[in-house]
């Protein structure tokens, strides 16, 4: 039975050791990570009006700030609000992003975020990566509505996350695709790892902290929240990049 409410403090992300390992190994077990980062950069460049002098970017579940860091390449004057439930992740982001590009950092879980008044309704671009799948369907729906309210008219939200496949057969196939990515990546790196990360897809499936929803259900949630032009920008197995505008 799935949890009725997600408690961030009960998840492994509060463990600094786990967070450190995630950052260290993310290129291995996040399929085409560098390609996805470049896609997000291109989408940001396409949608953000070049006349916006200091675009405000909100990075939800910012991790080490990798996404915000590449967006600075597009606009050197952007101001970022970095949000994460892990203080260890926020510390990493502060080290990676110049102070001049940080409007504020907020240590808060998504569940506490949408019940608070910590954010203004002034975002030009909101992005989230590999974080929202930890929320159950009710919480996802609430978060999408909250995000919509925080965007300026015409502003964009995009989300990169694993999704639940529409059938058991496709779920099994997508897990195999993921495992093969890891094995192929590990075969190319030097020096070789002492222990393979091929177990990650199985661990992901068995971890109760992960409660992904189907892509269709999330696109529908976004439409119901008011988003326009809701679109799938990219898909690799379980991993999808999708979003919409206010």
DSSP labels for 134-179? GS-HHHHHHHHHHHHHHEEEEEEEEEEEE-B-SSHHHHHHHHHHHH
pLDDT on residue 23: 64
What is the distance, to the nearest Å, from the Cα of residue 43 to the centroid of all Cα atoms in its chain?
Answer: 15
pLDDT at 2: 44
Residue 173 and residue 237: Cα distance in Å, rounded?
8
Q: What is the pLDDT of residue 57?
A: 98
Least confident window among 46-55, 71-80, 196-205:
46-55
Q: Look at residue 4 and tell me whether its pLDDT is greater than 70.
A: no
The answer to whether 76 and 70 have CB atoms below 8 angstroms apart is no
Q: What gap in Å lies between CA 49 and CA 17, rounded to an integer?
A: 40
pLDDT of residue 6: 56
pLDDT in tens, 83-127: 999 998 999 999 999 999 999 999 999 989 987 888 988 999 999
Give the HSE-up count for residue 131: Cα atoms under 13 Å, Cβ half-sphere. 25
Distance of CA 48 to the CA centre of its chain: 19
Separation CA 82–CA 128 (nearest Å): 10
Q: If pLDDT is split at 50, 70 and 90, which confidence band does 11 have?
A: very low
Predicted confidence at residue 42, as pLDDT, reads 97
Provide the 10 A C-beta neighbour count for residue 135.
22
Closest to 87 measured CA to CA, from 110, 58, 107, 65: 107
Q: Is the pLDDT of residue 141 over 80?
A: yes
In the chain the domains, ranked by start, together with CATH numbers, are 8-245 (3.40.50.150)
Share of residues in the chain with pLDDT > 90 (%): 78
Per-residue confidence at 15, pLDDT binned at 50, 70, 90?
very low
Residue 9 has pLDDT above 90, yes or no: no
Which pTM value belongs to this model? 0.90
């Amino acid at each position: 039975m799935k949890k009725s409410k997600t408690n961030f403090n009960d998840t492994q992300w509060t463990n600094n050791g786990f967070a450190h390992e995630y950052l260290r190994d993310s290129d291995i077990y996040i399929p085409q990570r560098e390609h996805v980062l470049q896609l997000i950069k291109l989408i940001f460049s396409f949608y953000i009006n070049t006349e916006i002098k200091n675009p405000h970017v909100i990075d939800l579940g910012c991790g080490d700030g990798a996404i915000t860091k590449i967006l600075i390449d597009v606009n050197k004057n952007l101001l970022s609000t970095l949000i994460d439930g892990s203080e260890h992740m926020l510390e990493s982001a502060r080290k990676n992003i110049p102070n001049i590009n940080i409007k504020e950092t907020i240590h808060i879980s998504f569940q506490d975020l949408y019940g608070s008044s910590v954010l203004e309704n002034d975002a030009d671009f909101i992005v989230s990566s590999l974080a929202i799948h930890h929320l159950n369907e009710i919480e996802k729906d609430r978060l999408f509505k909250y995000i919509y309210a925080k965007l300026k008219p015409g502003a964009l939200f995009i989300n990169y996350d694993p999704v639940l496949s529409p059938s058991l057969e496709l779920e099994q196939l997508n897990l195999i695709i993921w495992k093969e990515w890891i094995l192929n990546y590990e075969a190319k790196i030097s020096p070789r790892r002492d222990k393979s990360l091929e177990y990650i897809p199985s661990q992901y499936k068995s971890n109760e902290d992960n409660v992904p929803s189907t892509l269709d259900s999330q696109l529908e949630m976004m439409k119901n929240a008011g988003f326009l032009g809701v679109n799938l920008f990219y898909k690799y197995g379980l991993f999808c990049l999708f979003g919409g505008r206010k």
